[in-house]
Amino acid sequence: MELNDGSIDPPMIPLSFPLTEERIRALRVGDEVECTGLLFTGRDAVHKYLARGGALPPGVDLRGGVLYHCGPVVLKDPDGAWRVVAAGPTTSAREEPYQADLIAKFGLRGVIGKGGMGERTLAACAAHGCVYLHAVGGAAQVLAECVKRVRAVHFLEQFGAPEAVWEFEVDRFPAVVTMDAHGHSLHRDIEAASRAKLIKYRV
């Protein structure tokens, strides 16, 4: 697509889950991706539970998978099928105490959220071959349209719907690589640039 300045917008990079380390290490900060496959949600409760030694439900394998920081709004239709009506990202910083351990322990290849994460998670991404993907905030209903089917839900009674682990089959879910597997973080760069400007204006 041609932009207003005459340049060409690069095409979105398709990512199919589960992911290989080779595929992840080919990505760089700034890459725009479209995700297709099985996506797992997880927020505060399940991060704490797994980091403290809790076990995954039988049959759930996160190796090569992607964990989405999301507390979706999901309704059950009269026929018993689950329907996702909102699936926007939640702030990822709350999971910083746990994320690096989960990446290492469960072989995650991607984390989706908003706002970015810290140095410990960035180091784990570089060490184990994982990326952080930034999803669009404020577009929960639009992102829900990318969820084609709810395959399963876990910990629903234990944690409640927003904190449960939902298995979503997604198609062309859009996101941007903002932390890659090579130690680069767009969030860190923006913070450093902003700090430098603040110092400049204070002088």
**Amino acid occupying residue 177:** V
Which string of b and e fits 74-102 if b means at least 16 CB within 10 Å? beeeeeeebebebbbbbebbbbeebbbbb
pLDDT at 9: 66
pLDDT at 36: 98
Percent of the chain scoring above 70 in pLDDT: 95
pLDDT at 1: 44
pLDDT at 197: 73
pLDDT at 191: 79
Active site residues: 47
pLDDT at 198: 74
Helix (H, G, I), strand (E, B) or coil at 14: strand
Q: Which segments in the chain show pLDDT lower than 50?
A: 1-3
pLDDT at 7: 52
**Fold of the 13-202 domain:** fumarase (3.20.130)
Cα–Cα distance for residue pair 102/35, rounded to 1 Å: 21
- Separation in Å, CA 175 to CA 42, 43, 113, 159: 17, 18, 9, 27
Residue bearing tokens 């994460």 = 117
pLDDT at 83: 95
